[in-house]
Structure 1
Amino acid sequence: MEDPVSSALLAAAGLLLALWWLLGRRRRPLQGLPPGPKPWPLVGNFAFALLPNPLVRKRLLNMDRQKQLPKGEGGAGREQQPLQQNPPHLLLTALAKIYGSIFSLFVGSRPLIMLSDFEAVRDALVNQAEVFSDRPSIPIVALLSKRKGVVFAPYGPVWKKQRKFSHSTLRHFGLGKHSLEPKIIEEFKYVKAEILKHGDEKFNPFPIIGNAVSNVICSMALGRRFDYDDASLKTMLKLMSRGLELSLNSHMILVNICPWLYYLPIYPFRVLRQIELDITAFLKTIIAQHRESLDSQNPRDFIDMYLLHADEERKIDSESSFTEDYLFFIIADLFIAGTDTTSNTLLWSLLYMSLHPQEQKKVQEEIDLVIGRNRPPTLVDKARMPFTEATIMEVQRMTVVVPLSIPRMASETTGKRF
């Protein structure tokens, strides 16, 4: 599968490079950028995305000062691992040790500024939140999201209206409130029953946890939950997971340089396009079902509330951004953004509890003391369970629940290195 793809990509890249030289499109490097690896013509710092796996990928980031992970970063065995073979967050961490906590990379001719320490991130996202609230137009993201929804949409009046409505409506259905507790507790009963089915046998908890978290989102957004063996839910979650995996594929980086590559009839572009179509069909079918059974006097969930609000908006403004098409992207955002973070935290917690039985015992003792064995936990118990809360926070500190932030764009010049 890899060879035909690589050959096609190399041929396309070679043609583009030839045109680049023939047209004499030599660009001077931007001035005033933070330090970083020297970019290649056309492809920037991502030339390794052009090469098939069998080829050695050293020197492609032109890191003349250091080609290996810094000593002490994960043990002696990892020190010999080429940077380009590491996950993106480890690669960026290693680059920060070489070029500093604020450094630059190029995707094609587009510069990216990476912030890798607490002070820089806080300065940008907290102290200057309004300036850094916008989203850059990244081709692969724009092709998939159409720059709609609330996660990847550009900052502006439309985004503000959509986010305000989404946030208030989700809170109406329990998000961040005690009223969501019954739905979570009810879902936990299904998790417990599913786990007990395996008895003493080994099993993978990932599907169970993923289904449970998705069902809590479904209860707010779709007004229903799905059985864990429901084919449509299982297919949907697999498609989203696979789509996210392909979106981070090294070949997909090339779409950010040459967007037309997305439409090539070869792997992985063809597969990602089909996943996009399948997810679209699934969610739009659910939206259509809600439209058919919509009762203005009894809205059941987020979709019903959105459809009713969209109808009212169109009476005032026929060009309103509240449309069924925009609703689709908001629902997709809820699944993608809401499922991974919670699922990853729970799965990492299971792993660390099994690796540290003494801490597991202390957590259980606190649960028994505060809650007992005859009722489920509630948010009211949180203030009386400092060790359990500290354990959850420590798991999130030690693990990579969300390794990379969603890209941001400055809406004005800050006068700083970023």
Structure 2
Amino acid sequence: MCFSDDVTLHLTLVVSCLFLFIGFKHFWKKGNLPPGPTPLPILGNYLQLSNGDIVKSLLKLSEKYGDVFTVYLGSRPVIVVTGYKSVKEVYVDRGDDFLARGDMPSFDFDYKNYGIAFTSNMDRWRELRRFSLSTMRNFGIGKRNTEDRIQEEALCLVTELRKTKESLVEPRQYISKAACNVLFCIMFGNRHDYEDEELLNVLSLISSTFVLVSSRWGQLYEMFPWIMRFIPGRHQNIFVYMKKLLQFVEKRVEMNRKTLDENNPGNFVDAFLIKMEKENTNPKTEYHLTNLVNSTLQIFFAGVETISTTLTYSLLLIMKYPDILAKVHKEIDKVIGRERCPKIQDKNQMPFTDAVLHEIQRFIDLLPMGVPRKTTKDITYRGYSIPMHTNVFPMLSSVLKDPICFPYPNEFNPKNFLDENNQFKKNDAFMPLASGKRICLGEGLVRMELFILLVSILQNFNLKSPVPPEDLDTTPDISGLGNFPKQYKMAFIPR
């Protein structure tokens, strides 16, 4: 970020604080919360978290205050939980106490508590999750199942990569199109050509939104949402992009409504529209247009971004470690060969590749702070009194790099998931997309897509970097809600 941006950012903070100081007659009630750095009036712990990398800042604070501590984002207290045992307690052992969705102002402004992923209404969440899980299991509906869709898209992706003719390209632009098309099929019932303007526009909006939310501007908005909403800055584009995405989904829903065959639903939107018609006399129903649009965008957004970033990071890591690529190539040739498309059951015979896939997800640490939770009632936790609706950050980064759970926590090493016989070894601390009742809805889809798409690429290509492998930088370019790799170029060399 340039100097002028830094000045603008801090001036924005000063103005924000002045407005907040005028409007606030009441500050925080500390009560008996876990210990943490002393917050300042209005600012909270901004000074401890303002270096542009909130993840590192929070992990650094845990070294002083322990596995469970409190920070203030502005005047909002947040309980930060680190380490496998503590995070597992939040997700699983006492999951019902921490089951509500936490505040995410950057998204909450547009979603307004509707949809499946960002609602704090527990009855709404339970009903929509039950429906969505059942519906997602059925897709593809009819003649084609989900694996068929992914395999077909993998073939399209390989075809597009061959067209690059070994030239240097940015891989994300191809990977994200494949990931987006899989979700297009499941949610709306069709895919798009890779040069389709609508596909490219949606991908740009999703990526730009997620990057902005994770940036310093996004972090500042998360701390001071009620005043930052009215302050100029890059964060304002979040709402512009989100509005366009919601409008896109509204348009697609209307297209599906016009072609709907109630006896043969072909995708998630069709199934929801049918459910809406069945429930149209129930005044308390959760099956209405607002929940349909918001749920569809939330599932679509998360699925596209998760796969796109994970696969982009995957190719960078595998290029950096050519010995690992050689072993994966050997296993692919032995189990699958080079003629047929990979299928998910192949993974059972490919322990090293499976370990590599798990290690990629562990190492890149896609959602380092997890997705915020809230307490569902007043609770006692570790001897502290935590009120109902208190925000909680389960720091997934601290779990995926917990030295108690992984022998090589800070290096990329597939041995983290291999036993002494070089067979795949499960690890309960592997929770890249959370754990428990509120785990990512599409976690199974992510696993399937990651395996089929990545193995299809490696089955057909060698990977070539324009710089020596040892010079490839795998540290995140941005680290906030998500970790994003630095931009890089590579060539796909046919095998």
TM-score range relative to shorter protein: 0.7 to 0.9
Q: What displacement does 1:381 show?
A: 1.4
The correspondence for 2:118, drawn from 118, 127, 152, is 152
Identity over aligned residues, as a percent? Answer: 29
The answer to whether 1:294 aligns with 2:248 is no
Report the structure number with the largest CA radius of gyration.
Answer: 1
Amino acid corresponding to residue 149 of structure 1 in structure 2 = G
Correspondence 1:213-228 to 2 at 5 A: 213-228=179-194
Q: Secondary structure at the match of 2:380?
A: coil
d(CA) in 2 for partners of 1:265, 1:92: 26
The answer to whether 1:41 aligns with 2:41 is yes
Match of 1:192 in 2: 158
d(CA) in 1 for partners of 2:290, 2:273: 11
The correspondence for 2:17, drawn from 6, 13, 18, is 13
Q: What displacement does 1:138 show?
A: 4.3
Q: What displacement does 1:401 show?
A: 2.1
CA shift in 2, pair 1:293/1:26, >3 Å? closer
Any gaps of 5 or more consecutive residues in structure 1? 47-59, 62-82
The correspondence for 1:280, drawn from 223, 240, 246, is 246
Q: What displacement does 1:253 show?
A: 4.5
> Is the Cα contact below 8 Å between 1:39 and 1:106 reproduced in 2?
yes
Deviations 1:39-76 (A, max 9, x none): 11112112xxxxxxxxxxxxx22xxxxxxxxxxxxxxx
Match of 1:77 in 2: none
The correspondence for 1:171, drawn from 114, 127, 137, is 137
> Is the Cα contact below 8 Å between 2:19 and 2:227 reproduced in 1?
no
> Is the Cα contact below 8 Å between 2:73 and 2:224 reproduced in 1?
no
CA shift in 2, pair 1:12/1:353, >3 Å? closer
Match of 1:245 in 2: 211
Please give the TM-score of this superposition, normalised by the length of structure 1: 0.83
Correspondence 1:358-397 to 2 at 5 A: 358-397=323-362
Q: What displacement does 1:173 show?
A: 0.5
d(CA) in 1 for partners of 2:266, 2:196: 21
Match of 1:101 in 2: 67
> Is the Cα contact below 8 Å between 1:341 and 1:402 reproduced in 2?
no
CA shift in 2, pair 1:9/1:105, >3 Å? closer
Match of 1:202 in 2: 168
d(CA) in 2 for partners of 1:256, 1:359: 39
d(CA) in 2 for partners of 1:131, 1:8: 37
Amino acid corresponding to residue 129 of structure 1 in structure 2 = G
The correspondence for 2:302, drawn from 323, 331, 337, is 337
Higher helix proportion: 1
Amino acid corresponding to residue 14 of structure 2 in structure 1 = L
The correspondence for 2:77, drawn from 101, 106, 111, is 111
Q: What displacement does 1:254 show?
A: 5.0
The answer to whether 1:313 aligns with 2:317 is no
Amino acid corresponding to residue 247 of structure 1 in structure 2 = V
Q: What displacement does 1:157 show?
A: 1.7
> Is the Cα contact below 8 Å between 2:39 and 2:72 reproduced in 1?
yes
Q: What displacement does 1:194 show?
A: 1.5
The answer to whether 1:398 aligns with 2:402 is no
> Is the Cα contact below 8 Å between 2:272 and 2:292 reproduced in 1?
yes
Please give the TM-score of this superposition, normalised by the length of structure 2: 0.71
> Is the Cα contact below 8 Å between 1:254 and 1:261 reproduced in 2?
no
Match of 1:355 in 2: 320
Match of 2:30 in 1: 30
Any gaps of 5 or more consecutive residues in structure 2? 387-495
Match of 2:397 in 1: none
CA shift in 2, pair 1:219/1:120, >3 Å? same
Amino acid corresponding to residue 312 of structure 1 in structure 2 = K
d(CA) in 1 for partners of 2:208, 2:39: 30
Q: What displacement does 1:343 show?
A: 2.3
Q: What displacement does 1:415 show?
A: 2.1
Deviations 1:324-366 (A, max 9, x none): 1111111111122212222233222212221111111111111
- Structure 1 stretches of 4+ moved >6 Å: none
> Is the Cα contact below 8 Å between 2:172 and 2:312 reproduced in 1?
yes
Match of 1:52 in 2: none
d(CA) in 2 for partners of 1:383, 1:167: 25
Q: What displacement does 1:174 show?
A: 4.4
Amino acid corresponding to residue 303 of structure 2 in structure 1 = G
Higher strand proportion: 2
> Is the Cα contact below 8 Å between 1:133 and 1:155 reproduced in 2?
no
d(CA) in 2 for partners of 1:359, 1:252: 36
> Is the Cα contact below 8 Å between 2:39 and 2:71 reproduced in 1?
yes
CA shift in 2, pair 1:194/1:154, >3 Å? same
Q: How many residues align?
A: 377
Q: Secondary structure at the match of 1:130?
A: helix
Q: What displacement does 1:136 show?
A: 2.9
CA shift in 2, pair 1:258/1:114, >3 Å? closer
d(CA) in 1 for partners of 2:253, 2:129: 19
Q: What displacement does 1:105 show?
A: 0.6
Q: What displacement does 1:256 show?
A: 4.8
Q: What displacement does 1:165 show?
A: 0.7
d(CA) in 2 for partners of 1:378, 1:346: 17
Amino acid corresponding to residue 215 of structure 1 in structure 2 = N
User: Which of 1 and 2 has higher RCO (CA within 8 Å, sep 6+)?
Assistant: 2
Q: What displacement does 1:161 show?
A: 1.0
Q: What displacement does 1:282 show?
A: 1.1
d(CA) in 1 for partners of 2:178, 2:27: 53
CA shift in 2, pair 1:381/1:326, >3 Å? same
Deviations 1:240-277 (A, max 9, x none): 22122223343444545654435437223542332222
CA shift in 2, pair 1:391/1:5, >3 Å? closer
> Is the Cα contact below 8 Å between 1:150 and 1:330 reproduced in 2?
yes
Match of 2:422 in 1: none
